């Protein structure tokens, strides 16, 4: 990964800016602190949701994704994302359009109607890879002013960050390391738990198809983390955040059980260890609240 | 019309490559997909059964199976399949073919409505704009929901690919033509 890349186009997607803007504010702030400038992608849309639109109609999903990629190409910048859905869509679309010229031609015919073209000149990066590989663990460590001592963290990867490996390129999907490394940098302890790599239950239209059933997966995930002694869960995906955080409010409404198990996006956990406040990271306006030992 | 398998290869082939779709025939019913499927614990989804049904050309049965939509596309089976079946991609293509024939629930079609209206599956509202401001962000992100001419490009894509017709979208109402009667899966 190039050290000199200092400007990125931030592909916001839907859930980050429209439901959990604290993720957006925190990520921009931390990146800026390390000299990484964020440029806005004017006119970007939904990625569109890979499991949903990819399930409905590949030939609609692809041109909408390609249009988003084209916006970054026009800016001459690589992209970063804060949602595995956006990562899933944009990175996979980029991969498929590069691999299959015939579908690229078909997609560009659709985009040509309004004067855009997918060329294949940008790259889709996940924000946690920028933290891990571009900023780097050593530089992150230097800025940790409030190490998260005695905090046990359950890591949740979501699905489309790691899988399919042949597209994502982050090594084994069964023994990942990036989030574990980031947790370690904060001074917290990463705890293993039952079915750590299990999906949050939201993707592929499942949350929409059958919400109670989808919440049941999420409930299992939270219970497993709590039973392993975790104080919070950290993840790299705005859509998982919605399911894991707001889902806890839905569980309370539907079943009268409120776990209030804190959910944090990766940059928010790092932000805590860097001394950013709960308020500036938007962690005071979500369903789950931060306990005193995390928020001090 | 050929077999379902032939349709899967033809329809998915252009996007994924035909050889990718042809892996469907490699399924030997070992069940590793089903054993590791997080959905299968909670739902009737039996991935290997779906593949057997596809191999056996059980077109109507598979298109009408509610569990076809309980896969979260987590790719666990895709990674683990010892025969290299491109499971999740095959499932997404089967869903595409089912959706083309109207097998699409109203809540799923509503996601399409949000994107047609705003460019976003999850649009912003006034409360979230205030929250953004309190965090020092612009009240509205510079996306399709803010810029009409940008949204029109996305709407243009949906018209070109006839996704609007697929979900039975009414451009005058900017909503589904009817919310009753649609399949509830």
Domains in chain A: boundaries: 7-125, 136-295
Contact between A63 and B95 using a beta-carbon 8 Å cutoff: no
- Contact residues for A199 (Cβ-Cβ < 8 A; gap 6+): A158, A159, A217, B38, B39, B72, B74, B76
Considering only the beta carbons, identify the residue of A44, A100, A205 that sits closest to B69.
A205
Residues of A in contact with B158 (CB under 8 A): 60
Residues of B in contact with A213 (CB under 8 A): 42-43, 70
Q: Does position A163 have pLDDT exceeding 90, yes or no?
A: yes
Query: What is the nearest CA distance from A149 to chain B, expressed in angstroms?
Result: 27
In a domain, B47, yes or no: yes
Average pLDDT over residues A218-231: 98
Contact between A159 and B72 using a beta-carbon 8 Å cutoff: yes
Q: Which residue of chain A comes nearest to B136, CA vs CA? A: A25
Out of B76, B100, B124, pick the residue that ends a domain.
B100
pLDDT at A5: 56
Residues of A in contact with B11 (CB under 8 A): 58
Query: What is the nearest CA distance from A82 to chain B, expressed in angstroms?
Result: 15
Where does the pLDDT of residue A2 fall: very low under 50, low under 70, confident under 90, or very high at 90 and above? very low
Average pLDDT over residues B68-88: 97
Q: Which residue of chain A comes nearest to B76, CA vs CA? A: A163
The verdict on domain A136-295 having CATH code 3.40.50.11810 is: yes
In a domain, B185, yes or no: no
Are B134 and B90 contained in the same domain?
no
Residues of A in contact with B131 (CB under 8 A): 21, 282, 285
CA A29 to chain centre: 16
Contact between B143 and A44 using a beta-carbon 8 Å cutoff: yes
pLDDT at A296: 67
Query: What is the nearest CA distance from A120 to chain B, expressed in angstroms?
Result: 16
Reported ipTM: the value is: 0.96
Contact between B122 and A14 using a beta-carbon 8 Å cutoff: yes
Are B58 and B137 contained in the same domain?
no
Which stretches does DSSP call E strand in chain A? 7-11, 37-40, 78-81, 124-126, 152-155, 189-190, 232-235, 263-265
Secondary structure, 3-state, B35-102: HCCHHHHHCCCCHHHHHHHHHCCCHHHHHCCHHHHCCCCCCHHHHHCCCCCCHHHHHHHHHHHHHHCC
Q: Which two tokens stand for residue B82?
A: 């010892």
Q: Does position B38 have pLDDT exceeding 70, yes or no?
A: yes
Residues of B in contact with A287 (CB under 8 A): none
In a domain, B184, yes or no: no
Where does the pLDDT of residue B145 fall: very low under 50, low under 70, confident under 90, or very high at 90 and above? very high
Are B145 and B94 contained in the same domain?
no
Are B84 and B59 contained in the same domain?
yes
Query: What is the nearest CA distance from A29 to chain B, expressed in angstroms?
Result: 11
Contact between A44 and B144 using a beta-carbon 8 Å cutoff: yes
Out of B59, B81, B100, pick the residue that ends a domain.
B100
Out of B47, B72, B100, pick the residue that ends a domain.
B100
Q: Does position A189 have pLDDT exceeding 70, yes or no?
A: yes
Where does the pLDDT of residue B179 fall: very low under 50, low under 70, confident under 90, or very high at 90 and above? confident
Q: Does position A44 have pLDDT exceeding 90, yes or no?
A: yes
- Residue pairs spanning A and B at CB distance below 8 A: 212
- B62 lies in which domain range? 4-100
How far from each other are the two terminal CA atoms of chain B, in whole angstroms?
A: 26
**Domain spanning A7-125: which CATH class is it, in words?**
mainly alpha
The per-residue pLDDT for range A81-131, each reduced to its tens digit, is: 999 999 999 999 999 999 999 999 999 999 999 999 999 999 999 999 999
Report the alpha-carbon distance of residue A225 to residue A261 in Å, rounded: 9
Are B89 and B151 contained in the same domain?
no
Are B88 and B20 contained in the same domain?
yes
Considering only the beta carbons, identify the residue of B115, B131, B150 that sits closest to A21.
B131
Contact between B79 and A173 using a beta-carbon 8 Å cutoff: yes
Where does the pLDDT of residue B178 fall: very low under 50, low under 70, confident under 90, or very high at 90 and above? confident
Average pLDDT over residues A187-195: 98
User: What is the pairing mode between strands A152-155 and B169-170?
Assistant: unpaired
Residues of A in contact with B88 (CB under 8 A): 164
Of the listed ranges A11-25, A125-139, A257-271, A282-296, the least confidently predicted one is: A282-296
The per-residue pLDDT for range A249-287, each reduced to its tens digit, is: 999 999 999 999 999 999 999 999 999 999 999 999 999
In a domain, B181, yes or no: no
Contact between B108 and A208 using a beta-carbon 8 Å cutoff: yes
Are B89 and B116 contained in the same domain?
no
| Tally of structural domains, chain B | 2
In a domain, B183, yes or no: no
The per-residue pLDDT for range B90-137, each reduced to its tens digit, is: 999 999 999 999 999 999 999 999 999 999 999 999 999 999 999 999
Q: Which residue of chain B comes nearest to A159, CA vs CA? A: B74
Q: Which residue of chain A comes nearest to B148, CA vs CA? A: A43
């Amino acid at each position: 990964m190039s050290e000199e890349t200092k400007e990125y186009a931030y592909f916001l997607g839907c859930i980050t800016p429209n439901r959990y803007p604290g993720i957006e504010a925190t990520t921009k702030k931390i990146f800026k602190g390390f000299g990484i400038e964020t440029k806005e992608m004017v006119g970007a849309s939904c990625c569109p949701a890979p499991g949903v639109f990819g399930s409905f109609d590949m030939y609609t999903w692809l041109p909408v994704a390609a249009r988003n990629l084209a916006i970054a190409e026009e800016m001459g910048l690589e992209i970063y994302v804060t949602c595995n859905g956006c990562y899933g869509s944009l990175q996979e679309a980029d991969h498929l359009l590069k691999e299959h010229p015939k579908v690229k031609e078909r997609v560009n015919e659709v985009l040509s109607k309004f004067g855009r073209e997918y060329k294949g000149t940008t790259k889709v990066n996940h924000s946690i890879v920028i933290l891990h590989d571009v900023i780097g663990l050593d530089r992150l460590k230097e800025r940790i002013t409030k190490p998260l001592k005695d905090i046990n963290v359950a890591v949740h990867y979501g699905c489309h960050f790691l899988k399919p490996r042949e597209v994502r390129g982050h090594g084994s999907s069964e023994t990942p390391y990036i989030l574990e490394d980031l947790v370690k940098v904060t001074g917290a302890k990463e705890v293993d738990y039952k079915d750590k790599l299990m999906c949050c239950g939201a993707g592929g239209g499942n949350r929409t198809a059958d919400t109670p059933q989808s919440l049941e997966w999420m409930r299992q995930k939270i219970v497993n983390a709590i039973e392993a002694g975790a104080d919070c869960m950290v993840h790299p995906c705005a859509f998982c955040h919605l399911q894991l955080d707001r889902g806890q409010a839905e569980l309370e409404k539907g079943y009268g059980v409120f776990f209030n198990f804190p959910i944090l996006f990766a940059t928010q956990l790092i932000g805590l260890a860097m001394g950013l406040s709960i308020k500036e990271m938007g962690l005071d306006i979500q369903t789950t609240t931060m306990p005193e030992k995390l928020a001090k | 019309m050929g077999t379902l398998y032939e349709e899967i290869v033809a329809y998915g082939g252009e996007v994924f490559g035909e050889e990718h779709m042809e892996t469907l025939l490699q399924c030997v019913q070992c069940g590793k997909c089903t054993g590791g499927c997080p959905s299968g614990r909670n739902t009737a989804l039996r991935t290997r059964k779906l593949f057997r049904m596809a191999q056996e050309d059980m077109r109507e049965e598979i298109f009408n199976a509610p569990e076809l939509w309980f896969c979260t596309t987590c790719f666990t089976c895709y990674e683990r399949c010892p025969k290299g079946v491109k499971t999740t991609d095959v499932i997404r293509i089967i869903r595409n073919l089912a959706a083309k024939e109207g097998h699409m629930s109203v809540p799923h079609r509503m996601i399409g409505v949000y994107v047609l209206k705003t460019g976003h599956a999850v649009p912003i509202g006034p409360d979230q704009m205030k929250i953004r401001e309190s965090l020092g962000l612009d009240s509205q992100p510079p996306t399709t929901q803010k810029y009409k001419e940008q949204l029109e490009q996305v709407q243009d894509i949906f018209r070109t690919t006839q996704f609007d017709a697929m979900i039975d979208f009414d451009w005058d109402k900017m909503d589904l033509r009817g919310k009753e009667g649609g399949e509830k899966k």
